[in-house]
Structure 1
Amino acid sequence: MPIEGATIDVTFYGVRGSTPCHGPEVSRYGGNTSCVAVDVPGHDPIMFDLGTGSRYLGVERSTEGFHADCFVSHLHWDHIQGLPFFPPLLAPGNRLDLYAPRPERHESVADVIDTILCPPLFPVGVADLPGEVVFHDLGNDEVRIGDVTVTSRYIPHIGRTLGYRVDWNGISVAYLSDHQQPGVDVYDMCPGVEALCRDVDLLIHDAQYTRDEFIQRSTWGHCTIDYAIWTGKAAGAKQVALFHHDPMHDDRMLDQVASVCGRHCTPNVVVAREGLTIQLGA
């Protein structure tokens, strides 16, 4: 039965794309790479991606008996580089269930991580961490976590990439951190994107480039701010959070985006920043 008045919280711990950045010019929106937490009443945290922002999530929430389910969009470095620095994994008895797309050139997600986290690239492997990491390979799937449904669908990017949708108690969140726009001024969406985004309460979407930047980088696997907003509107999303900001987009530039979106955009559009919590439901 639906729980009347129940809400979920979506908190941003890392909002930057490609590489972390630092300095006073990005201090307000943040410079950590992708990590978002979805808090559903009565459930362990559901995480999207393990970029450098995940370290701050772990510092805030690291407790004895910690457990979380983390859905990784793809295995590019900026989305997993927080894994060996995730504080809960430094304590025995803690566990992270990590879900990610089935790799094309390796046997499993665990195999990919083992090739990255090992000497000489890194001093220790996953098996050396005191906490436990359990790997799950995903494709076009549905995962049940208690009474939460997490849907995964392949979406266009470079290499196998998943978008995700969380549904609970009539509330829904879609997460498409890296999404290749079909072309300059081409507005279309594939069936997987449509399935994830249709009528969601919140769409978190790649918004890495301006139109002029996209013209120069049209094959780099990302999209424009305009395309992110169009996707939300075309899919009937109630709210769009612009995400995966380019490292060169400083606070002043993102303020300008937020100002224009606040005046002219439908649906409601926010520019994601570290520390922002959006409450959905009720």
Structure 2
Amino acid sequence: MRYGGNTPCVELCARDGEIVILDAGSGIRALGAHLVATGYSGPLHLFLTHRHSDHVLGLAHFAPLFNGQRLNICCGDGEAVSLEKFATSILSPPMFPYVAGVTTRLDITEWDDCQSPRAGELSVHRFVARHPGEAAIFRLDDAAGALLAYAPDNELAYHNGAESIVQWRRRLADFVRDVPILVHDATYRHDELPNHVGWGHSSNLEAARFAMECGARTLVLFHHHPDRDDETVERMLDECREFVSREGGTVRLLAAWEGLSLGVA
């Protein structure tokens, strides 16, 4: 009831007023309603970490599209089906009733790994996550530097000592070094990890350990398991705080909840 049941969607409001949306899970419905209610009519940029259903199923319920606004969509997961065909299918029969003009309001960009797309003053950088389906981790920067790192589906795999994974984790830490806000996958309790190796998700304590390693100022535990109740999420958060305190860390710890709003000084 507190932490909510929607699937992933995060909004970033830049200093110049530009709005970037990260993933189009069911949470995008409430965001769309808010944008319509407040009369926002500026550019809208949607970056998808990957195309798994929990990250795209809200697209057809995003109200601004039906009010005539255009939506820039970008993804770079290497899937064989083009992003344009995929996004159009979500808004077309049999997935969704035909609504005249809706699919023509999509501006589709296939991500070029050699480039970092821009959304107004923001640049968006991509790092490949350890998750089935070539999911991405995003870092969003403005002229002053990094603002946010977003890693909703990522298996840190600290139990695995393979050199390739250790090196990948070091490169990831460098990619998000000293980021003010790190939103990271914390789907599992630490004792659940042995039964979910290779599923593409991390535990709460792994996320906390990584946040300390990369120097993040704030860690937001994200992608809660759908079977969690509020009390369990609170216990997982307390475990992280105890772990960080024991290790002498200073990272601020939160568990994501519906409507959570954070600022970057």
Tell me the amino acid that sits aligned with residue 15 of structure 2: P
1:268 partnered with 2:252: yes
1:72 partnered with 2:48: yes
1:98 match: 73
Q: Please state how far the C-alpha of 1:234 moved relative to its aligned partner.
A: 0.9
1:172 partnered with 2:147: yes
Task: Judge conservation of contact 2:49–2:77 (CA < 8 Å) in 1.
Answer: no
Which whole-Å CA distance do the structure 1 matches of 2:174 and 2:135 have between them? 15
* Mapping for residues 229-268 of structure 1, pairs under 5 Å: 229-265=208-244, 266=249, 267-268=251-252
1:13 match: none
The unaligned stretches of length 5 or more in structure 2 are none
Q: Identity, % of aligned pairs? A: 29
Structure having the larger proportion of residues in strand: 1
Task: Judge conservation of contact 2:139–2:146 (CA < 8 Å) in 1.
Answer: no
The TM-score, its normalising length taken from structure 2, stands at: 0.86
Write the deviation string for residues 175-229 of structure 1: whole angstroms up to 9, x where unpaired. Answer: 0110023363658462652343111011100110112222111121111111111
2:92 match: 118
1:55 partnered with 2:34: no
Task: Judge conservation of contact 2:205–2:239 (CA < 8 Å) in 1.
Answer: no
* Mapping for residues 28-43 of structure 1, pairs under 5 Å: 28-43=2-17
Which whole-Å CA distance do the structure 1 matches of 2:65 and 2:7 have between them? 19
The TM-score, its normalising length taken from structure 1, stands at: 0.82
The unaligned stretches of length 5 or more in structure 1 are 1-26
Structure having the larger proportion of residues in helix: 2
Q: Relative to structure 2, which stretch is displaced further, 215-224 or 57-66? A: 57-66
Tell me the amino acid that sits aligned with residue 87 of structure 1: A
Task: Judge conservation of contact 1:37–1:48 (CA < 8 Å) in 2.
Answer: yes
Q: CA RMSD in A?
A: 2.2
Write the deviation string for residues 130-159 of structure 1: whole angstroms up to 9, x where unpaired. Answer: 771111111533122232221112221101
Q: Please state how far the C-alpha of 1:66 moved relative to its aligned partner.
A: 4.3
- Relative to structure 1, the CA distance from residue 83 to residue 193 in structure 2 (aligned partners, 3 Å threshold; closer, same or farther) is same
Question: Secondary structure, in 3 states, of the residue corresponding to 1:231?
Answer: helix
Task: Judge conservation of contact 1:200–1:236 (CA < 8 Å) in 2.
Answer: yes
- Relative to structure 1, the CA distance from residue 278 to residue 131 in structure 2 (aligned partners, 3 Å threshold; closer, same or farther) is farther
2:178 match: 199
Tell me the amino acid that sits aligned with residue 98 of structure 1: I
* Mapping for residues 213-228 of structure 1, pairs under 5 Å: 213-228=192-207
Q: Relative to structure 2, which stretch is displaced further, 253-262 or 201-210? A: 253-262
1:132 match: 105
Aligned length: 252
Looking at both structures, which has the greater relative contact order when contacts are Cα pairs under 8 Å and sequence separation is at least 6? Answer: 1
- Relative to structure 1, the CA distance from residue 34 to residue 258 in structure 2 (aligned partners, 3 Å threshold; closer, same or farther) is same
2:18 corresponds to which of 40, 44, 47: 44
